[in-house]
Chain A
Amino acid sequence: MSVQKREVLPVKNSNDVVLARQKVRQLAVELRFSLVDQTKLVTAASELARNALDHGKGGSMTVEVIVNGARSGLKMVFEDQGPGIANIEDALKDGFTTGNGMGLGLGGSKRLVNDFSIETEVGKGTRITAVRWK
């Protein structure tokens, strides 16, 4: 698996979420994802960026264009130094929320991508990786 392009964007405020979405859209278009796949990617990016902002007190997004054999894909990594997630299983359940959202962010984003993983440590922060293959 090789990385063809990498960009890092801050996720510190509401406007950064908009910029993160636009960056993901731009790369998804470059990769020639279908419109539905683009929409899924951008929506997942939006959910995860907002998650990093609301629950992780802000962090960063790294987007990578990756190639694995004949397949290419878009990889998004969201990192924050927030409180971490105490129970990942609960956090992925629909309707689970510690804030005032609808609790669809994490579980919903997982359904919008192909690979999804969460690394988290209470008190240290969270890193969420999401990949969608073409």
Chain B
Amino acid sequence: MERIPVLRMGSLLLITIQVDMHDKLALQLQDDVTERISDWGSTGVLIDISSLEIVDSFIGRMLANIAGMSRVLGAETVVVGMQPAVAITLVELGMSLTGVRTALSVEAGMELLYGNSITGSEDERTEA
């Protein structure tokens, strides 16, 4: 069966959504994420949606659900890479995904979850 892969990166989970979502896939993903968090004791979940061309209220709800479930299990969720057109549409739709943290890229999302521990090189350069 078609499935969205959930990758383990240290204490984080990385999920890249690339396919057109439908109900079963979304439910399966919620199952997978919650199971992995509890199996691996992950503290953070990164959901990369940079290749999604639309986010409707169905996918929005799925993202909010995953964030909510993960929080209960002790993991923080960051949704990364939302495209401008998608963001504009989502706002017009009336969905602001309150309670879900966001970042521009996977890197920025990791930074957000780990604190500032993995940056440095760029900051040194610009401060000089």
Contacts and interface: CB of A to CB of B under 8 A. Distances in A.
Indicate whether A and B are direct neighbours in the complex (CB within 8 Å).
yes
Interface in A69-124: 94, 101-102, 104-105, 107-109, 111-112
B88 A39 contact: yes
Contacts of B95: 102, 104, 108
Interface string B18-59: 001011100000000000000000000000000001111110
Contact of A50 (B55, B58, B90): B58
Contacts of A36: 84-85, 88-89
Given A108-B94, A108-B95, A111-B94, A39 B89 contact: yes
A85 to B, nearest CB: 17
Nearest to B95: A104
A42 interface: yes
Given A104-B95, A108-B95, A42 B54 contact: yes
Contact of B93 (A15, A21, A101, A108): A108
A34 B85 CA distance: 10
A17 B58 CA distance: 11
Contacts of A108: 57, 92-95
Interface in B39-87: 53-58, 60-61, 83-86
B94 A14 contact: no
A66 B90 CA distance: 26
A62 interface: no
Contacts of B85: 35-36, 38-39
Interface string B86-128: 1011101111000000000000000000000000000000000
27 contacts: A14-B22, A17-B22, A21-B20, A36-B89, A39-B53, A39-B54, A39-B83, A39-B85, A39-B86, A39-B88, A40-B89, A40-B92, A43-B54, A46-B54, A46-B56, A47-B93, A101-B57, A101-B58, A102-B61, A104-B57, A104-B93, A104-B94, A107-B94, A108-B94, A109-B93, A112-B89, A112-B92
Interface of A: 14-15, 17-18, 21-22, 25, 35-36, 38-40, 42-43, 46-47, 50, 94, 101-102, 104-105, 107-109, 111-112
